[in-house]
Chains A and B, each alone.
Chain A
């Protein structure tokens, strides 16, 4: 995978991980307003990075698979492949 793509994908992964971790915290602290605010701003950042990645390199979820023939979703690499990063 080319360098720019790997760099951007790693940024998407890091941004999404922030949301995963914050969400677990909010599950047991549902009234922590500071954390809720942090989740909202982190989610905006994650969405921006995701949109950017998908525009350049193809869909991360099948829902965001744009038009294309052959179907863009099936294109390699899949995340477990050595070439995926």
Chain B
């Protein structure tokens, strides 16, 4: 379960609206390498993790990604709040406005709606953890692209924070992977695919 804490993980206080930047940043809300995908990926994969370390890291990073989803949503909200329809339209958000007004909806920068096809939950801890490592790198790279597109420190600071978290997550998933691999290497410890192992013999 979760309990809501009435604060963000990192402060967001954007003084100047910038709908063009919002159109790009929303990709970390509902895009292929965004926070919604990250959170659902880890929170789904945790059910089939074989060690306490792997279960807890997926649980806790999956939880932190929800806080990141909130930070990104907050950024898009503050960047577009009160911006008139014609200004949104001039900045590439005309179609978005038609469907969602000033609401927050999970899409990519190109406007594709969020889909579960962005994530996998394989039931194989090695496969899942490798996906998670790649996901963290892709998210890091996306934040770097967004930082390159931004010029307002109010926007850049939270993006830098989120980028730094992806690096920490990558590190922790790497450690979890090593722990899981060590455990799997122990003889007679069949936590995945005993059926496959039997058929292979």
Chains A and B bind each other: yes
Q: CA of A16 to CA of B169 in the docked complex: distance in angstroms?
A: 17
Instruction: List the B side residues contacting A61 at CB < 8 Å.
Output: 3-6
Interface band, chain A: 20 to 34
Q: A27-B56, A80-B73, A82-B13 are in contact. Are A60 and B5 (CB under 8 A)?
A: yes
Contact call A85/B172, Cβ cutoff below 8 A: no
Contact call B172/A28, Cβ cutoff below 8 A: yes
User: Is B57 engaged at the interface, CB distance under 8 Å to the other chain?
Assistant: yes
List the count of A-B residue pairs having beta carbons below 8 Å apart.
74
Beta-carbon contacts of A35-63 to B below 8 Å, as 1s and 0s?
A: 00000000000000000000000011111
Q: A24-B60, A24-B61, A80-B73 are in contact. Are A9 and B172 (CB under 8 A)?
A: no
Q: A80-B70, A80-B74, A80-B77 are in contact. Are A30 and B53 (CB under 8 A)?
A: yes
Give min CB distance, A63 to chain B, whole Å: 7
Contact call A24/B74, Cβ cutoff below 8 A: no
Instruction: List the B side residues contacting A17 at CB < 8 Å.
Output: 9-10
Q: CA of A13 to CA of B57 in the docked complex: distance in angstroms?
A: 21
User: Is B90 engaged at the interface, CB distance under 8 Å to the other chain?
Assistant: no
Instruction: List the A side residues contacting B179 at CB < 8 Å.
Output: 28
Residue of B nearest to A17 (CB): B9
Give min CB distance, A34 to chain B, whole Å: 17
Give min CB distance, B105 to chain A, whole Å: 15
Q: A27-B60, A80-B73 are in contact. Are A21 and B6 (CB under 8 A)?
A: no
Q: Sample 6 A-B pairs with CB under 8 A, ordered by A number.
A: A20-B64, A27-B56, A27-B60, A60-B5, A63-B3, A84-B7
Additional A-B contacts beyond A23-B60, A60-B7 (8; CB < 8 A): A12-B7, A24-B57, A24-B169, A25-B172, A62-B3, A79-B74, A84-B8, A84-B13
**Interface set of B (CB-CB < 8 Å, partner A):** 3-14, 52-53, 56-57, 60-61, 64, 70, 73-74, 77-78, 81, 168-169, 172, 175-176, 179
